[in-house]
Chains A and B, each alone.
Chain A
């Protein structure tokens, strides 16, 4: 109690002011950390969205020889970004069930998509390598004088429809299969025609599976899963920003209050100083001798006029 009495109001105000400043500094550090975390999450979630789109684009390259090393590199980069994102989120939002669930959802959808991509790669490679033989057979049959024009024409037509079926969705598989059945009746004419028929059937099934695989890749829910997490992180960041704004406002108001308190104290001090100066003047110019003593009656001050 004695100690508090000894503290004047200015010292208390200054101490509170210092505490406020230190808290503000600490809070700014926390805000900065939040920004860094958001940037880090953002920097790793954007590549996930981009790679997902690139993988969808890759699934549209049916019957095209692509560099699978590059596709694998994209998958590797996806996994790397996802791992960093997961570690950072586990650190920042350790107990957030929604984020944890959304991360699991991304991982599950990614695994499904990656598996489907592997299947797509295999089928696409099989289609390309099988196409070479089909084209070679078509050329051999075209040059074979023992094969009738009717059969050659049917072979060309069948190949035409297989290629159309490969590259567009306007032709139905059953339509191409019917064309091949027409060819089946003529396979006894030549072993090349028989080979062409057999190879075409396998190719047709491969194309159908490949298209189905491409569709599965395209219909993957991975993009939605990433978007969900992205939205949650954005919402959380906006919420944090709103809280930060309120806290900043609170700091501002506290500082203003402190400032007003200091101004009032200062005005009060000025008033006291003025009164003291007047008192001093009065004492110094008094005709009487004024002696000020301490409680032990020892003289501590005496008016100058009598010195």
Chain B
């Protein structure tokens, strides 16, 4: 009995930070400071197929802004119908991610924007070729107005990154709830949020982007059968095998299929998968439904003017 009392005191002390602290998720800011002229140029580039070698693929091909900011495919397709190896993550709110790409190989949006252009299975181009192409277009004048050195690899990435910074989705029902509007969530969604915290999902999915601020192993308690070693490809350290950037859960209901390999289209199965591999537990279907209801409250307002 004495041991039980001590145990409960320790248990309470261990969890008190989780139980008594302020909410571990913060609302998305409504604005991000950007250079409007660079944004305009970046937007043009984002939608322009000139970036790809055969003029067929633009950033928007894999990041469809009307469809959750991804391509809704298991893995993406590049030039000549080539299939990629990973699921395209949403571009929305990516400015709040601590690293870019599933394996975190890009430190920021600018570095990320340089990747697909030269990836042979994505845009298959080279910056030397792209710069030469853009020099023959009105882009030349636009770049000269904004950048002293005109069209360069750095400046192309900078403009695209500047545009991507504006692709944020504030005022989701859950954000409004966090700001004090208790009617913004349904009772089921509120219960889902409590379960989300109580089951331990919150330990990886927290902060402003509800994820996107750390790496974790896909398959902590069970082997997740991932053929992709994840971050190991970047660091070549054994301990980084199957480590991926924890995804943001913002707009998650709109960004199926899920996981780096797009293994499921169902958000319910995605929640069950997480419980199984990451938490090492089973959860009831009723609990899954409540958590899914909570996840649906994370759909924010799309930015204005997202048409090409």
Please report A residues at the B interface, Cβ cutoff 8 Å. 63-65, 67-69, 72, 115, 118-119, 121-122, 124-126, 128-133, 135-136, 138, 153, 156-157, 159-160, 163-164, 166-167, 195, 198-199, 202, 206
Contact = CB atoms under 8 A, between A and B. Distances in A.
Contacts of B235: 115
11 contacts: A67-B24, A69-B26, A115-B235, A122-B214, A125-B204, A126-B220, A129-B199, A130-B280, A132-B200, A132-B279, A159-B11
Nearest to B243: A122
B198 interface: yes
B11, B214, B217, B279, most chain A CB atoms within 10 A: B214
Contacts of B269: none
B172 to A, nearest CB: 17
Contact of B98 (A72, A125, A129, A164): A72
Instruction: For chain B, give the interface size range.
Output: 35 or more
A121 B26 CA distance: 19
B7 A159 contact: yes
B16 to A, nearest CB: 9
A121 B99 CA distance: 14
Interface of A is mostly: helix
B220 A135 contact: no
B279 A125 contact: no
Given A72-B98, A121-B214, A160-B10, A130 B208 contact: no
B161 to A, nearest CB: 16
Contacts of B17: 64-65
Given A65-B17, A122-B215, A163 B281 contact: no
Contact of A129 (B3, B26, B278): B278
A122, A128, A130, A156, most chain B CB atoms within 10 A: A122
A135 B206 contact: no
B152 interface: no
Contacts of A159: 7, 11
B203 A65 contact: yes
Given A122-B215, A160-B3, 13 more contacts: A65-B206, A69-B209, A115-B235, A118-B214, A129-B203, A132-B200, A133-B281, A135-B11, A136-B281, A138-B7, A156-B3, A167-B14, A198-B280
Interface of B: 3-4, 6-7, 10-11, 14-15, 17-18, 21, 24, 26, 98, 198-204, 206-209, 213-217, 220-221, 235, 239, 243, 278-281
Nearest to A117: B214
A138 B15 CA distance: 15
Contacts of B98: 68-69, 72
Contact of B14 (A69, A131, A133, A156): A131
A109 to B, nearest CB: 17
A83 to B, nearest CB: 12
Given A115-B235, A156-B3, A122 B278 contact: no
Contacts of A119: 239
Given A65-B18, A68-B207, A133-B281, A153 B3 contact: yes
Nearest to A130: B280
Contact of B220 (A118, A163, A202): A202
A68, A121, A129, A195, most chain B CB atoms within 10 A: A129
Contact of A163 (B11, B18, B207, B280): B11
Given A72-B98, A131-B200, A199 B280 contact: yes
B57 to A, nearest CB: 31
A121 to B, nearest CB: 4
Contacts of B201: 129
A131 B216 CA distance: 16
B7 A156 contact: yes
